Amino acid sequence: MPLRLDASAAEFESRFQSYLDIGRDDEERVDATVAHIIARVAAEGDAALIDYTRRFDRLSITAEGLRIGADEIEAAVRACPPDLLAAIDFAASRIEDFHRRQAPQGYSYEDGVGNRLGLRWTSVAAAGLYVPGGLAAYPSSVLMNAIPGKVAGVPRLVMVVPTPDGKLAPAVLAAAKRAGVDEIYRVGGAQAIAALAYGTQTIKPVDVIVGPGNAYVATAKRMVFGKVGIDSVAGPSEILVVSDALSNPDWIAIDLLSQAEHDPAARSVLITNDAEFAERVAGAVEQALVDLPRRDIAAASWRDHGAIITVPNFDAAIPIIDRIAPEHLELAVSDPHGLADKVRNAGAIFLGRHSPEAVGDYVAGPNHVLPTSGAARYASGLGVLDFMKRTTLIDCTPAGVAAIGPAALTLAGAEGLGAHARSVAVRLGKN
């Protein structure tokens, strides 16, 4: 059964903090294994990828077979039902529309003493996209990771995807084609992350790596950060639903399970101001689990990491929300906008009773790659800016450097940096 908490109870704080402190990530000690894989790929290149693919994905390939060719991609597109291709195109169009509005603008201005200062945005030269593979079809992950990069203007998008036993869902390749992915390689795991970061004889290195993966992939991304940029080190998925008693308990129950079915370590939380409604939702969850295709996964998640929290009013829910800092936050209340205005920490907020988290996963438009494990306190979802960098521009005139240079001389002297001071002094005619 999920944890039951009453925000008005004397023991709430200690029990709630214990709940937040429960580790949900895979506790398997993978650091040493991942470090070895990265070192080997960096040293051996394709040979290491081929060996790991044989061992972990049970697939024997050559260096030439690492890349998925145009013919295979076209065959995958033809294998997809027309309605699925239409849905991929529909989702891609909405994701593109939303992300184009994120594109930043540079600026340039004169500082009043003759110098021109500015800032410009440029994309990275190459980005790597990690996509879970096999028969688990996640075309939405392809679209969400690739389209912001294309909108940013990245000239080279490289996708890596494992193909265990040589199997790969056609929809994944169809989505990659629709999103404009330039290169696709049949390699996964920590070895794929290492290949993107360090390069091999076949795969040229990239500048940024994005996309979700298992504990080995997440650990590899953490280890190569610095060599390349990364979007985040993602943990298990999570949803927090705030609901009053006017909501349909069946709707709230299935929303909670929409994330629980991802992973036994996923976290689903209900906050409500009505104890009777909480019981109705709990019963609806049990009923929904009866015929859920991923019942075992969802049931384990709800049992081990689920929680139902009752609050005296929704103002009391705000500090709880901000401490959880959920990946997904649904506000199924009468005034969702007013409540949302008070929330500081959330990856994405779904407003009202007709905005289920699932639409955000596929077709709403905003990105579904969001901060997890409390990272919404300081991080944002994947977007165009994750594929871009800003460069400042400084264009000094003789009069301009004369106006600002003396203060630079003073500061350089205070810091004991003689060459700094002299490089300004020579331009001011001082020796």
Catalytic residues, which ones?
327-328
Q: Distance between CA atoms of 419 and 412, rounded to whole angstroms? A: 9
Assess contact for 356 and 377: CB atoms under 8 A: no
Q: Residue type at 190?
A: A
DSSP-derived 3-state class of residue 129: strand
* CA dihedral (244, 248, 251, 253) positive or negative: positive
Q: How far is CA 279 from CA 2, 6, 64, 252, 263, in A?
A: 12, 13, 58, 12, 24
Q: DSSP code of 321? A: H
CA distance 431 to 422: 7
Distance CA 20, CA 17 (A): 5
Length of the chain measured in residues: 431
The residues facing 238 across adjacent strands are 267
**Residues forming beta bridges with residue 104, ordered by sequence position:** none
Give backbone dihedrals phi and psi of 54, rounded to 5 degrees, phi first.
-65, -40
Amino acid at position 297, single letter: I
Check if the beta carbon of residue 342 is closer than 8 Å to that of residue 333.
no
Strands (E), 23-136: 107-110, 116-123, 126-130
Q: Which two tokens stand for residue 21?
A: 């402190």
CA distance 107 to 153: 18
Handedness of CA 289, 295, 296, 299 (dihedral sign): negative
* Measured CA distances, 8 to 5, 86, 306, 313 (Å): 9, 50, 19, 10
Cα distance between residue 246 and residue 401, in whole Å: 66
Who contacts 70 (Cβ-Cβ below 8 Å, separation ≥6)?
A: none
Going by the DSSP 8-state scheme, the letter that residue 368 receives in this structure is S
How many whole angstroms separate alpha carbon 393 and alpha carbon 181? Answer: 32
Could you give the 3-state DSSP secondary structure of residue 294?
A: coil
